[in-house]
Amino acid sequence: MNRRYLIGVVLAAGTALWFGLGQGSLPEGPGRELVLQKCQTCHELGFVTRERQPRERWDAIITEMQSYGLRLTSEERATILNYLATHFAPGAQAPTPAPQPQANVSGAQVYNNCIGCHQANGSGVPGVFPPLAGHVPSILATRGGREWLIQVMLYGLQGPINVRGSSYNGAMPAYPQLSDAEIAAVLNHISTQWGNGFPSGQGPFTEAEVRAQRGKNLSPQQVLSARQGLGLR
């Protein structure tokens, strides 16, 4: 297997668990600031940890991240592990996202969460992360495509897909911690950048559209199945 591809897939999956800690979703406690500091040096914050892992699994995740270059002293490692094992253990209550301002939401600013994978120009990374440039209009033109794009943002996507003749098999994390306005804004951004545009008869995404897709509790694999039902190529 191509080493670059393998590393990309592992990092994408790993960040969904380890670096998936948005500032507004992290509960207070010893280790919170250290988690934010160490995550932010490598990845744009904004994902939310939905998984609840036992202490030994968090320990293994930290070890895996260290193998990819995360630098921690033994004391920092112990502090982070205790924090995660306390607040993100099986049965732990999910933290309540901090309220987000609804006015003047910038889709370009929200897209900063996406640049690491899809790139500033929407080109993606060949064989690792699919492009948005030239592909989003095809999704929008497909019946059910608008709803599916919202579902990808809310619930993530995992599994093999084909985009414009190239194959990808990675993982996209979910962003349920973003407000309805933020998700609508970023979808409007990617729908109108890099030569993209809304198909005739379609207008910008609205908060109401996003709100209608919340609460469906889809898994990333179910989102993949929904994509297959769209018949995209």
The DSSP-derived string for 181-220 is: HHHHHHHHHHHHSTT--PPTT-----HHHHHHHTT----H
What is the overall mean pLDDT for the chain?
Answer: 80
How is residue 53 written in tokens?
């892992």
- pLDDT for 170 equals 81
Q: Quick check: 158 and 174 in contact, CB under 8 A?
A: no
User: For 217-231, what is the mean pLDDT?
Assistant: 90
Instruction: Please report the beta strands in the chain, taking only residues with DSSP state E, as ranges in sequence order.
Output: 157-163, 166-172
- pLDDT for 109 equals 92
User: For 192-213, what is the mean pLDDT?
Assistant: 93
- pLDDT for 66 equals 82
Instruction: Please report the beta strands in 73-155, taking only residues with DSSP state E, as ranges in sequence order.
Output: none
User: For 134-143, what is the mean pLDDT?
Assistant: 94
Residues 6+ apart with CB under 8 A from 154: 174, 175, 176, 183, 210, 213, 214, 216, 218
Q: How far apart are CA 108 and CA 201, in angstroms?
A: 24
Closest CA to 94 of 18, 25, 149: 25
- Tell me the pLDDT band of 221, cut-offs 50, 70 and 90: very high
Question: Which residue type occupies 58?
Answer: W
- pLDDT for 25 equals 57
The dihedral region occupied by 60, where left means phi > 0, alpha psi between -120 and 50, and beta the remainder, is alpha
pLDDT (tens digit, 9 = 90+) per residue, 6-43? 444 444 444 444 444 444 456 778 888 877 776 654 54
Residue with tokens 């033994």: 74
Sign of the dihedral through C-alpha 90, 13, 147, 192: positive
- pLDDT for 50 equals 56
- Put simply, whether the predicted model's pTM sits higher than 0.75 gets the answer no
Backbone angles phi, psi at 123, to 5 degrees: -85, -15
Which H or E element spans position 167? Answer: strand 166-172
- pLDDT for 210 equals 94
In percent, the amount of the chain with pLDDT more than 90 equals 42
Closest CA to 36 of 50, 21, 25, 51: 21
Is residue 182 scored above 90 in pLDDT? yes
Is residue 153 scored above 80 in pLDDT? yes
Q: Which one is predicted more confidently, 11 or 109?
A: 109
- Tell me the pLDDT band of 216, cut-offs 50, 70 and 90: confident
Question: Which residue type occupies 80?
Answer: I
pLDDT (tens digit, 9 = 90+) per residue, 37-77? 766 545 444 443 555 778 898 888 888 888 877 788 999 88
Q: Which one is predicted more confidently, 17 or 149?
A: 149
- pLDDT for 152 equals 95
Q: How far apart are CA 84 and CA 63, in angstroms?
A: 14
Count Cα neighbours of 119 within 13 Å in the Cβ-side half-sphere: 13
Residue with tokens 């030569």: 195
CB atoms within 10 A of CB 136: 22
- pLDDT for 149 equals 96
Domains and CATH numbers, the chain: 3-87 (no CATH), 107-230 (1.10.760.10)
Residues 6+ apart with CB under 8 A from 164: 131, 134, 135, 233
Q: Which one is predicted more confidently, 22 or 130?
A: 130
Q: How far apart are CA 212 and CA 12, in angstroms?
A: 28
- pLDDT for 39 equals 62
